[in-house]
Structure 1
Amino acid sequence: MKISHIVVAIALTFSANVFSQTDKHYALSTSASGYKVDGKVKSTDAGLQIPLSLISDKKDGINLYGNTIENLVVDVDYETEERLHIKISDKEKKQYTVPDSPLGIERPNVVHRAEKANYDFQYTAKPFSFRVVRKSDKAVIFDTSNMPFVFEDQYLELSTKLPDDANIYGLGEVTAPFRRTTNITTIWARDNADDFYRNIYGSHPYYSEIRDGKAHGVLLMNSHGMDVVTADNRITYKVIGGILDFYFFVPKSGSPNDVSIAYTDLIGKPLMPSHWMLGWHHCRYGYKSINDVETVIKKYKEANIPLQTAWVDIDYMEETKDFSFDGVNFPKKRMIALGEQLHKEGQNYVVMVDPAISANTTYGPYVRGTEMDVWIKNPDGSDYVGMVWPGYTTFPDWWHPNASAYWEKEIGDFVDMLGVDGLWIDMNEPASFCLGSCGSGKVDAGKQPYRWLLPQEVQDANHAAQEEALKALGNPPGETRDLLYPKYVINNGGGNLSELTVATTALHYGNVPHYDIHNLYGHAESYITRNALIKQNSKARPFVLSRSTFVGTGKNAGHWTGDNHSLWEYLKSSLANILNMQMFGITYSGADVCGFNQNTTEELCTRWMSIGAFYPFARNHNAIGQSDQEPYLWNTTAEASRNALQVRYALLPYYYTLFEESHRLGTGVWRPLIFEYPQYNEIAANDLQVLVGSDILLSPVLDKGRTTVDAQFPPGIWYDWFTHETTVENVGKHAEVETVTLDAPITHIPVHIRGGSIIPTKQPKYTVGETYSTEYSLIIALDDSDTAKGRLYIDDGESLEVENSSDISFTYKKGKLSASGEFGYAHPEKLQKITIIGKGASKLTIAHTEHKSIELTKDDNSVTADNVSINLTEPFEIKFD
């Protein structure tokens, strides 16, 4: 959330995506000396260890952008049948690596080499290169041969070859098409309003490739800034520190979803949300008083647009200081009462907390943090003082031994007092509005004018003075690298690495420079915030939404894609952004519906609400100074919102079941078509439609003025959700993807059910709780063999430690619906209604006995049996004639 971004010209938003991607960034270091195997290759318990030394006969190829490291070690671990680990590190172990901890990555303890691996590792000795080969089809999925290999203290370069028109997905966080094209993805967490193709909030050096219908994944576990170049039949990594720590994911099936499972086996499975988290959320930055919040809640109800959770941005704070209240506009008593009223109505309450703490000796959180010595430091050991919303601020060092205790107290006391259901952690790249420790010596200075509100000449003078002061502080003691201005300049949208964040020379606990740990900051805060909420309430699943993320954040927090714009291009790109987050294991994710910056329009907001209603995390949110965009403000938007949210709330059991699968396995809740149908390359670039799980297809209108959608349908039978009509029946051995033009008037989003699926539903009501209090229904959508299957997961919807649950598998075959599985949930949930699409029925029997009280309703496309009234506490069979 950054006011300065609101005034950025639209031309810059779109033209800035490529202007600094120079030939230098794309070019290979062809003069690099390379390495050779030098010594005995050892067998280890898990694989191989290969010693390398610099090929020294090419003196011109050393110290390209840093100090060349002459002796390396390659550790090759066959960790599982699906996962290969190749770590290339400096022999002396001086290079920084992602910590083996919850604040980095909790690496598995591998003691034996995997048997029957799905891959081969091959290498050449001089110059050293390696290949990873998938055994099933002999495909070379990673190949560094005849490519430069550079390993310096501040520059690493390695490339792999790609086939023509490779289907590459992932890498970011970046606003870009889902299928990657020729471009540079820069990874350096940055507070930026979602410029296209530029680095923004998260750091995920992971991609998946789909080739000839089979997928694999590649992760570079490195927390440093980097450029990842996708061009000229290659991927090239250009990294400004650390080591080359690669993981390869090669499932035997070749399924993209199985790649996601293998990936999250390593990084951690996505969080399991509570029921309430799957409802509709609303927020804005710029509420003038709590009266505005209460009015919005009231008008949602009057318009009969479901609202589950009301959010309050930093507006509630006194001078935007964490854990405080504006006594005039957001008095504490009324803020507490708001939560109590929401809970009384079955609704929920979330507020924002930023990591930056106001540097003021009359402010308790600052005093307590100073006493516990938890702040990030300057190279000289003094507290680093930047500038965020409250003025001069200090930043918690999440790696300090006292940080968890400090944050647990601040969070616990605040949540206990206010009664919120979760926390929204923003500005945690971390963002800072000045360059360097601009507040050093200015504790108690109070709130300062934001730099973008000052005359340009004052801004320039301040910046110049801050840069000189930053240079004067110098490097940390004993540091030989140039942490401020590394010779290889990544394509950082902010320019200088220290712009708008903590300076790269600042120190974390253990004298670790921020240069090495920057991309982990928001990830570490997510973990510590989640634990603070669990300590405050150990029974309920904690709610944390984080702006900055890293590999593995999804097990601790959800994510929204940041400060987007109320433009059609951002509506369209939101699907790709969310699909990327699903790939990265952050399945509880979404985008600001109707846009954050700039003013929306009725048509744009209407179309955005229609698809935003189906985001895994679904929230309308906009910025201070922008026009109101609550969906009840326009008749068409209100109607479209009711229509779409009615479908979402009906599908809550389906969503919840998908989230349980995601939490247990690691699959996406939203999925691109190519992940479900990888053999059909014609859908490889389709990021304008989305599958919810395997069985629900969304085909939104994403262009101004359109009332139709040209939608791609994979082979099979696809039924219209609303009418149950068969939209596509494309079956048989040679069936291909079919494109259909669908009618989509302004208040309608086309939704389709896959033939062969069984969808559990509820009767949609105003709140999630009311919806879940209704009885279950099943929609049985038959395939061309008149069969279908589906799944339903049931628990209490909120417990952190689930004691009783049911996992029910439904199958329909030869006129018989069967339910089997685990029936451990004690509450007597009932199945009340069954709808069969694709085949009629005239009589229904249960356990071979005619059940005369059941009501049958038939139309041209389906038959519905009501009043079935079967307890979902044990297996059952229903026969249809």
Structure 2
Amino acid sequence: MRSYQKLRAAVPQLVLSQEEEEEEDENATTSTPAGRSKLAPWWVGSGLLITAVLLSTITVWVLRQVSRGWHGPAPPSQCYLVPESHRYDCYPERSVVVTQELCESRGCCFIETLPAVGGKRGVPWCFYPPNFPSYVVQSLNQTALGMTGLLVRREKAYYPKDIQVLRMDVEFQTNTRLRIKITDAAKPRYEVPLEVPRVMKRAENPIYSLEFSQDPFGVLLRRQGTGTVLLNTTVAPLIFADQFLQISTTLPSRFLYGLGEHRSTLLHSLDWNTLTLWARDVAPTESFNLYGAHPFYLLMEEGGDAHGVFLLNSNAMEVALQPAPGLTWRTIGGVLDFYIFLGPDPNMVIQQYQEVIGFPAMPPLWALGFHLCRWGYGSSNETWQTARAMRNFQIPQDAQWNDIDYMDGYRDFTFDPQKFASLPSLVEDLHKHGQHYVMILDPGISSTSPRGSYWPFDEGLRRGLFLNTTQGQPLIGQVWPGYTAFPDFSNTDTHQWWLENLQRFHTHVPFDGLWIDMNEPSNFMDGSEEGCPPGELDSPPYTPAVLGNSLSAKTVCASAKQNASVHYNLHNLYGLKEAEATASALIQIRGKRPFVISRSTFPSQGRYSGHWLGDNRSQWKDMYYSIPGMLSFSLFGIPLVGADICGFSGSTSEELCTRWMQLGAFYPFSRNHNTQNEKAQDPTAFSPLARTAMKDVLLTRYSLLPFLYTLFHRAHLQGETVTRPLFFEFPWDVATYGLDRQFLWGQSLLVTPVLEPGADSVLGYFPQGVWYDFYTGSSVNSSGEMLKLSAPLDHLNLHLREGSILPTQKPATTSKATRGNPLHLIVALSPRTTAWGDLFWDDGESLDTFERGNYSYLVFNATENIFTSNVLHASTEATYVTIDAVSFYGVQEPPSKVLLDGQEKPFSYLDNQVLTISGLGLRLSQGFSLQWL
């Protein structure tokens, strides 16, 4: 309240008097007359104050008042007073050169500025004046969860079919989450069919306050503890037309992340940067819209707090960032349905986001092993030879994959009867060795089979399960098999057809997981074989900055008909709905946890699949970009993510592939994959030195599987991230905000890869505290500094954070073999000799083991020279595994003796302050304590 009172004292004429406030309080549910010039406050339950919002400066407010009622071209005196960084684009169309005449026809300011460096769009020449007409609040009424109101536009907007009266619903859902939804008050509009949690009562003690400007309408969201303004939408007008929705806001800092899928640094540039969200098949390239759409951002505030904003909208959109700092959402359909998450720390923001979109599925343990694939094996025997070579060199591998060359004529649910005749035998052999088989599937179903009948198409056509043209005929595009139809996964009947196809194929080739590709959906032609019909769906009044300048570029027509709606609304959901159908089918076929990797993704995808980062290149910069890509998908609630190790296209070098294998061993989803007509890049293809380095780092990964598996359990249970940026754990350290060349597994394992050629050392940032070398236990006490680390070609730098306990295991060449080996606990003591860790253990593949209670969960603690293993929940699986050793890093003085449950045990103590007790032979289901004296 103090900041509100200060503003009132400074500008008393802007707010109602105390008497007027009391009068308004008594009549809080009455309508506010249109055209009212005062800024009126309202009160709602829980003591939440909804007050008038001031604009960012008194100067801007004065200009607004002086010019109120004027709706022609903006006077130059107004325009030049708007700072360049605060100029919100009034003419974002890229298809025309903006002239003064065009700009002023919209009632906006026109000032030419110097062109941006490098051809990028810079300061807009055409921007909104302070008085630009917008909506006004006509009424605002209390509801059980918050409030509802009407917003009225008194003047037409410049986009066709603007909507005059909007309905706004505000829900104070939890103390750290609110929802603001704006839609047409008169008729329903398309909304994303995402299952979101139902809220039954209003938040009692929210950590935010919400304020409104009445005329023009605007929202101001403030964090109560610090007074930080998180959203202020009064900086530019709200526009809500049938096919153009736009809302802008200031941001409290420049530290913004998310808004995928794009190839970029983790920290986005706010230097007039536009990010487009429209699923597209294109090799990852900067500035392009890529395979998925994730309209969610996380922002770090000054002081270390964080918040997130999610726009639940699946239409084509773009998000324009500018150095104010500010942001503009533009979408061409649906509604404005915002969820805001108040954290206050970044980990909590992501957990709160996943409470809305759904927590990720628990993967099978084998999914976390090493996977190997290429396009161009040529035959099942050649594939088989690679798997055998990996075994001969005893290099860990859990899954062998095949790309589209296993198919007969690139048709789904077939395999080549000549080149891949031994495929069923290969799969049988993999299973005998505790390994798994994964194959690719594309959604494009061949519509022209050279051998006549093709059941997937014939039956899909008979049941009416494909995307249709506006004329009601199957839309035919072109993908690998030639002319293709596209299944409509928004139709539940299609899910049944998909299952039947997979069941039929599984009887011949008992695959274990599925790789769904080309599901943007990708199309080798624009739209269809007949093009796209004229109309506002395929040629909307405004097209966001999509690659190809058309919604149908390398995909199907936006006007295509689907069961749930038109493709215009559903395009960005295509990969999600296919993943849902695929995961469901795998559960029904195998009766175990499904493993699905999808290229196209949308919020909630983690419930059904993981993701790989697409068709990258064998270049050093591509290896670097995989880190911000992986970390971004952690923010999006899709923890099972990785890039094609060593690069997909082009030929790798031995040095690049060795370094990339070291990094890729710490992708949550770890797969080496490359294209046809390039030399092989699996570990067996390289010199003994490189091959050994690759093998060693994979063995390190397999030793850490218990730790990684536990992280996935925590992600599944409560939405924690598996890989995370350093600032997630050190939000008070601003030096971590831009770091994306290192990352953490969970809270405690720091990975510092080499990302440049010819290097034998690497620089890494170590936040304040003690960090231990994972391999040796040697420590460094950092004050928060960049350190130079030795990094010969056969070494990846891994460090443990003080206060952590990692469960590790003697590695084998498969996860199945590894899980039977003894455990070794590594305790990284803090200077106060404390540490904590946990372990989740189950059979690694059954459905819903946690939900059914078929698991073991252990918590490890170290305090004052006493270590305890506490079994909080146990199952029979834990009786087959033993804890063989415990190592303590950071024991300052050599102990005189070590006691296991009171009985003295032999130990070793090294000069680098590492204490190890071996030969314990304790069952995992058995709690115990160790004490050193």
- Tell me the TM-score normalised to structure 1 length: 0.89
Q: Provide the secondary structure at the position in 2 that maps to 1:878.
A: strand
Mapped contact 1:595–1:622 kept (Cα < 8 A) = yes
Q: Which residue of 2 aligns with 1:552?
A: 604
Q: Provide the secondary structure at the position in 2 that maps to 1:261.
A: helix
Name the % identity: 38
Give yes or no for the alignment of 1:659 onto 2:748.
no
Q: Which residue of 1 aligns with 2:625?
A: 573
> What's the CA shift for 1:768?
1.0
Give yes or no for the alignment of 1:816 onto 2:866.
yes
> What's the CA shift for 1:821?
4.3
- C-alpha spacing 1:353/1:28, structure 2 compared with 1 (3 Å): farther
Q: Residue type of the partner of 1:143?
A: N
Report which stretch shifted further, 364-373 or 840-849: 840-849
Select which of 137, 154, 171 maps to 2:226.
Answer: 137
What's the CA shift string for 1:712-759, capped at 9, x where partnerless?
Answer: 001111111122111x213xxxxx411110010112111111121111
Select which of 293, 316, 319 maps to 1:228.
Answer: 319
What's the CA shift string for 1:9-68, capped at 9, x where partnerless?
Answer: xxxxxxxx9988546989655585310011x31111111001001032xx5xx133x321
Report which stretch shifted further, 841-850 or 29-38: 29-38
Q: Which residue of 2 aligns with 1:116?
A: 205
> What's the CA shift for 1:96?
1.6
Aligned counterparts of 1:26 and 1:604: Cα–Cα separation in 2: 45
Q: Provide the secondary structure at the position in 1 that maps to 2:293.
A: strand
Aligned counterparts of 2:856 and 2:391: Cα–Cα separation in 1: 33
Aligned counterparts of 1:662 and 1:436: Cα–Cα separation in 2: 39
Select which of 704, 717, 734 maps to 2:757.
Answer: 704
What's the CA shift string for 1:87-117, capped at 9, x where partnerless?
Answer: 0111123432112xxxxx1022223211111
Q: For 1:267-346, what aligned pairs fall within 5 Å after superposition?
A: 267-331=357-421, 334-346=422-434
Q: Which residue of 1 aligns with 2:778?
A: 725
Q: Residue type of the partner of 2:765?
A: Q
Aligned counterparts of 2:600 and 2:142: Cα–Cα separation in 1: 40
Select which of 58, 63, 67 maps to 2:158.
Answer: 63
Q: Provide the secondary structure at the position in 2 that maps to 1:130.
A: strand
Mapped contact 2:683–2:695 kept (Cα < 8 A) = no
Q: Residue type of the partner of 2:691?
A: A
Q: Provide the secondary structure at the position in 2 that maps to 1:408.
A: helix
Q: Residue type of the partner of 1:502?
A: V
Select which of 444, 455, 480 maps to 1:364.
Answer: 455
Select which of 37, 49, 52 maps to 2:137.
Answer: 37
> What's the CA shift for 1:849?
2.5
Aligned counterparts of 2:777 and 2:125: Cα–Cα separation in 1: 51
Mapped contact 1:416–1:536 kept (Cα < 8 A) = no
- C-alpha spacing 1:403/1:706, structure 2 compared with 1 (3 Å): same
Select which of 611, 614, 618 maps to 1:562.
Answer: 614
> What's the CA shift for 1:779?
0.6
Q: Which residue of 2 aligns with 1:126?
A: 215
Q: Provide the secondary structure at the position in 1 that maps to 2:292.
A: strand
Give yes or no for the alignment of 1:151 onto 2:240.
yes
Give yes or no for the alignment of 1:745 onto 2:792.
yes
Q: Which residue of 2 aligns with 1:583?
A: 635
Give yes or no for the alignment of 1:241 onto 2:333.
yes
Mapped contact 2:232–2:249 kept (Cα < 8 A) = yes
Aligned counterparts of 1:32 and 1:487: Cα–Cα separation in 2: 21
Q: Which residue of 1 aligns with 2:703?
A: 650
Report which stretch shifted further, 168-177 or 643-652: 643-652
> What's the CA shift for 1:857?
5.7
Q: For 1:412-491, what aligned pairs fall within 5 Å after superposition?
A: 412-438=503-529, 466-467=530-531, 470-471=532-533, 474-475=534-535, 482-491=536-545
What's the CA shift string for 1:371-401, capped at 9, x where partnerless?
Answer: 1110110001111111111111111111224
Select which of 75, 91, 98 maps to 2:185.
Answer: 91
Q: Provide the secondary structure at the position in 1 that maps to 2:354.
A: helix
> What's the CA shift for 1:416?
3.6
Q: Which residue of 1 aligns with 2:502?
A: 411
Aligned counterparts of 2:383 and 2:674: Cα–Cα separation in 1: 14
Q: Residue type of the partner of 1:646?
A: L
Aligned counterparts of 1:404 and 1:25: Cα–Cα separation in 2: 47
Q: Which residue of 1 aligns with 2:561?
A: 507
Select which of 482, 494, 497 maps to 2:548.
Answer: 494
Q: Residue type of the partner of 2:547?
A: G
- C-alpha spacing 1:23/1:154, structure 2 compared with 1 (3 Å): farther
Q: Provide the secondary structure at the position in 1 that maps to 2:772.
A: strand
Q: Residue type of the partner of 2:667?
A: Y
Q: Provide the secondary structure at the position in 2 that maps to 1:507.
A: coil
Aligned counterparts of 1:78 and 1:313: Cα–Cα separation in 2: 48
Report which stretch shifted further, 704-713 or 397-406: 397-406
What's the CA shift string for 1:164-211, capped at 9, x where partnerless?
Answer: 5x1101001001000010311100000010011211001000010011
Q: Which residue of 1 aligns with 2:94?
A: none
Mapped contact 1:599–1:627 kept (Cα < 8 A) = yes
Aligned counterparts of 1:670 and 1:609: Cα–Cα separation in 2: 17
Aligned counterparts of 2:456 and 2:540: Cα–Cα separation in 1: 35
Aligned counterparts of 1:515 and 1:22: Cα–Cα separation in 2: 27
Q: Provide the secondary structure at the position in 1 that maps to 2:429.
A: helix
Q: Which residue of 1 aligns with 2:766?
A: 713
The structure 1 segments of at least 4 consecutive aligned residues displaced by more than 3 Å after TM superposition are 17-32, 854-861
Q: Which residue of 2 aligns with 1:266?
A: 356
Mapped contact 1:823–1:872 kept (Cα < 8 A) = no
- Give me the CA root mean square deviation: 1.8
Q: Which residue of 2 aligns with 1:102?
A: none
Aligned counterparts of 1:295 and 1:29: Cα–Cα separation in 2: 65
> What's the CA shift for 1:665?
1.1
Give yes or no for the alignment of 1:754 onto 2:801.
yes
Aligned counterparts of 2:249 and 2:125: Cα–Cα separation in 1: 14
Mapped contact 1:75–1:87 kept (Cα < 8 A) = yes
What's the CA shift string for 1:521-548, capped at 9, x where partnerless?
Answer: 001111111111111123x100111100
What's the CA shift string for 1:430-475, capped at 9, x where partnerless?
Answer: 001112331xxxxxxxxxxxxxxxxxxxxxxxxxxx54xx23xx44
> What's the CA shift for 1:302?
2.5
Q: Provide the secondary structure at the position in 1 that maps to 2:261.
A: strand
Aligned residues: 802
Mapped contact 1:21–1:184 kept (Cα < 8 A) = no
Q: Which residue of 2 aligns with 1:880?
A: 932
What's the CA shift string for 1:139-180, capped at 9, x where partnerless?
Answer: 11111123221111111111110245x110100100100001
Q: Which residue of 2 aligns with 1:778?
A: 825
> What's the CA shift for 1:861?
3.3
Aligned counterparts of 2:492 and 2:383: Cα–Cα separation in 1: 39
Aligned counterparts of 2:736 and 2:492: Cα–Cα separation in 1: 49
Mapped contact 1:21–1:491 kept (Cα < 8 A) = no
- C-alpha spacing 1:115/1:781, structure 2 compared with 1 (3 Å): same
Q: Residue type of the partner of 2:845?
A: E
Report which stretch shifted further, 817-826 or 528-537: 817-826
Q: Give 5+ residue unaligned stretches, structure 1.
A: 1-16, 100-104, 439-465, 476-481, 731-735
Q: Residue type of the partner of 1:71?
A: V
Q: Provide the secondary structure at the position in 2 that maps to 1:653.
A: helix
- C-alpha spacing 1:335/1:842, structure 2 compared with 1 (3 Å): farther
Report which stretch shifted further, 753-762 or 823-832: 823-832
Which structure: larger Rg? 2
Mapped contact 1:224–1:516 kept (Cα < 8 A) = yes
> What's the CA shift for 1:625?
2.1
Q: Provide the secondary structure at the position in 1 that maps to 2:319.
A: strand
Q: Provide the secondary structure at the position in 2 that maps to 1:224.
A: coil
> What's the CA shift for 1:865?
0.8
> What's the CA shift for 1:610?
0.7
- C-alpha spacing 1:508/1:24, structure 2 compared with 1 (3 Å): farther
Q: Residue type of the partner of 1:780?
A: V
Q: Which residue of 2 aligns with 1:177?
A: 265
> What's the CA shift for 1:292?
1.6
Q: Which residue of 1 aligns with 2:899?
A: 845
Q: Which residue of 2 aligns with 1:347?
A: 435
